[in-house]
Structure 1
């Protein structure tokens, strides 16, 4: 098992092509992000005060982007914890495997975009926090 930490989870600045008619941010596999995108999804209409996430993954890597609005991503590796605020559509948080994440403080109208390295597999999820702690401590 490769031990990842919150310090392996970094904010990546994505390209921003400015045009007076509007901006565009292109994202290519293994160029702007360090993996091949196999799944894309987005969260929206999250009610005020709601928390999303609350899990980790064994293998999946993700880039989380605030396509619109803002929210906080709380990440934890079993020992360290940090909060990252995302509020610009040309910045994304890279989350490595084995990191617990919670998504909080959604602004009104926020849209959270996720680019994932794998297709959906329930077997890849760690949904129980104690199981996550055991896993992160090598148990």
Structure 2
């Protein structure tokens, strides 16, 4: 597995339509927003602030993460460097390529983390041991 340049990863803007009458905003994710077809959608909620989620990498799967409500940090690791992103806007998301270790932490009260992913659940695609992940680089 080749090493991903963490500097090439950034937050992506999700198109936002503001209501002219001040009734709120609407964001839409269609085929031109993500570089993959969405095959699975899941969300995390009621995560205690002192808990972390993730703690794995994927061999093939790509993931787009959005903070629908509240905030949390996503820490990415390519085996030799780490980079952290704070997600706190529902119109910005983080596209995580395959081959990157991810950990989600510092959840605020009431936060909701939405994940849009490129494939169906497949346990064989996960690398859950950090030492194994590092040795694959």
* TM-score of the aligned structures, taking structure 2 as reference length: 0.95
Q: Say if 2:3 and 2:79, in contact at 8 Å, map to a contact too.
A: no
Structure-2 residue corresponding to 1:57: 58
What stretches of structure 1 move > 3 A for 4+ residues in a row?
A: none
**Cα deviation per residue 1:40-95 (whole Å; 9 max; x = unaligned)?**
11000001200000000000101100000000000000011110000000000010
* TM-score of the aligned structures, taking structure 1 as reference length: 0.93
Q: Say if 2:49 and 2:105, in contact at 8 Å, map to a contact too.
A: no
Q: Say if 1:8 and 1:96, in contact at 8 Å, map to a contact too.
A: no
Which secondary structure does the structure 1 equivalent of 2:136 belong to? helix
* CA distance, structure 2, for counterparts of residue 111 and residue 6 of structure 1: 24
Which 5+ residue runs of structure 2 have no aligned equivalent?
Answer: none
Structure-1 residue corresponding to 2:14: 14
Q: How much has 1:33 moved relative to structure 2?
A: 1.2
Give runs of aligned pairs for residues 33-48 of structure 1, distance below 5 A. Answer: 33-48=34-49
Which 5+ residue runs of structure 1 have no aligned equivalent?
Answer: none
* CA distance, structure 1, for counterparts of residue 122 and residue 6 of structure 2: 23
Q: Say if 1:63 and 1:114, in contact at 8 Å, map to a contact too.
A: yes
Q: How much has 1:5 moved relative to structure 2?
A: 2.6
Give runs of aligned pairs for residues 102-121 of structure 1, distance below 5 A. Answer: 102-121=103-122
* CA distance, structure 1, for counterparts of residue 65 and residue 13 of structure 2: 12
